[in-house]
Amino acid sequence: MKIRSVIRPLGLLLCILGLSMLLPLGWGLYFNEGTALAFGIPAGAMLLGGAILWKLIQPTERRLSRRESLLLVVLTWVLASLFGALPYLLSGALPTYLDSFFEAMSGFSSAGASVFVSVENVPQSILLWRSFTQWLGGMGIVMLFVALFPILGIGAAYLAEAEAPSGQGEQVTARVRDTARAIWLIYLMLSIVELVLLLVAGLEVFDALTVTFSTLPGGGFAPHDLSIGYYDNFLVELIVIIFMIAGSVNFSLYYLFFWRHQPGRLFKNPEFVLYITIMLVSTGLISLNLIQNTGLAPIEAIRQAGFHVVSAESTTGFATADFNTWPDLSRFILLALMIIGGSAGSTSGALKVVRLIISAKYIRRRVIHSFNPQAIIPLKIGDNVVPEGFIARSIGLVIVYIASIIIGTLIMTGLGLDAISGLSSVIACLGTVGPGLGMVGPMSNYFAVPALGKIVLIFCMLAGRLEFFTLLAIFSPSFWRWR
């Protein structure tokens, strides 16, 4: 491993992250919020430090190996959160660096788990930064730089795989860099459309910006304590639902839809069809449960159920009601959706629907092999045969994911959380959903979680965003053997 090959592009990444603070810095200056130093100091530190690393470190060769790419991706996400935490601390919005780091990691990983007790009196520039970190992290920080800078193009395939192990869907162009650009362009276009629609629906510019920055990436940070329920506006809820779904669909399907003019590929995609089916069935079940147990009118029950089903399965975490007070069946359907998640190649977190399909087909194949061990049964999704390596990786991730939920829940309950709060906090952070049940419900927050519990959940957010193996690899002694 050549550390110089990692440090130099890391310097460039730090510079761009420093530049990203200019948006909230400018907003704070314009509205005289007194947050200039809170953004100016970390932005200056990142720009200066990044420039020094870029100019002074000369790599022995430009190509990044697989191990170097893994290390670069992990360091990028950790350093982005370490520096991204400073505005919260320096502005006095949060009392400790641990809380600030938690909020920053939750932002960049698009988890949406917050330690703010209330955001109503927090400066707008801080809330804008909070949502903007979700927008940057939603499609992948490193993938953004792969798209922008040719210098990261060599070894780009390893970088893309390290940051999004489930794959960004099909490689829609011949080069990874061009694929990254196409996907980010789609991401930007969808964001602009949502922003315009929210403005037309009646939101103020600040609210429209922060909600847009938190919707497509599946983030869930809202500028009000009541989340999207604050607006009590059906049109706003409908727009948010549409774009939560849009963000949780494989982005390569959009490329085929708009650029290749192949709309049929979207509706013939097995993962997309199952994703929408799960969403519709879950909405129906929860609606019936709410009508029977809470006395809600059918239209209102469908409205609330539909919004929260989409929010949970897309791993966004927005809320229009306190689903923590719903009947147990409804709450645990939402918890199950938080584990399933959206599509591979999207901004959503959790296991992904494609792994649900692979797991089901793998179990079926093992059942057949139990009485017919000589049978050759290729595992297919649609017309495509899934490579055995991808099957093994998917099953391995499912095992690690479930084991992490169990271990994490044991730790959180050992720290004093009740069983429901402990379980849902781990599921919500691993799946980058944000709100869970119990003391971390949609109208609550993570402020009261013990310090050690916050550290555990920070690890869960990072591991869930990088889908475990990228992060776990750097803890292997063999990873650090020099070659």
Nearest 5 degrees, angle CA 293-CA 294-CA 299? Answer: 110
Residue 21, Cβ density class (10 Å: 0-12 exposed, 13-18 middle, ≥19 buried): buried
How high is the pLDDT of residue 276?
95
pLDDT greater than 90 at residue 96:
yes
How high is the pLDDT of residue 151?
53
pLDDT greater than 90 at residue 353:
yes
How high is the pLDDT of residue 463?
94
What stretches of 234-321 show up as alpha helix (H) in DSSP? 234-247, 251-258, 264-267, 270-294, 298-313
The overall average pLDDT reported for the chain is 89
- Quote the CA–CA distance of 140 and 468 in Å, as a whole number: 15
How high is the pLDDT of residue 156?
55
How high is the pLDDT of residue 157?
60
**pLDDT per position as a tens digit, 228-243:** 999 999 999 999 999 9
pLDDT greater than 80 at residue 303:
yes
- Quote the CA–CA distance of 250 and 348 in Å, as a whole number: 10
All structural domains of the chain with their residue ranges: 1-483
How high is the pLDDT of residue 94?
96
How high is the pLDDT of residue 1?
62
How high is the pLDDT of residue 184?
86
What mean pLDDT do residues 204-220 have?
Answer: 95
**pLDDT per position as a tens digit, 1-35:** 677 778 888 888 889 899 999 999 999 999 999 99
**pLDDT per position as a tens digit, 436-457:** 999 999 999 999 999 999 999 9
The residue that leads in pLDDT, 167 or 249, is 249
Lowest mean pLDDT segment, chosen from 99-108, 158-167, 247-256, 445-454: 158-167
How high is the pLDDT of residue 168?
40
- Quote the CA–CA distance of 224 and 230 in Å, as a whole number: 7
Nearest 5 degrees, angle CA 149-CA 165-CA 464? Answer: 105
261 band by pLDDT with thresholds 50, 70 and 90: confident
How high is the pLDDT of residue 144?
66
The residue that leads in pLDDT, 263 or 193, is 193
342 band by pLDDT with thresholds 50, 70 and 90: very high
219 band by pLDDT with thresholds 50, 70 and 90: very high
The share of the chain scoring above pLDDT 90, in percent, equals 68
The residue that leads in pLDDT, 138 or 5, is 138
Tokens of 30: 């314009």
Amino acid identity of 297?
A: A
Question: Which among 137, 107, 156 has a CA at the least distance from the CA of 434?
Answer: 107
How high is the pLDDT of residue 254?
87
Q: Are strands 384-385 and 380-381 parallel, antiparallel or unpaired?
A: antiparallel
**pLDDT per position as a tens digit, 151-176:** 554 455 656 665 565 544 455 555 66
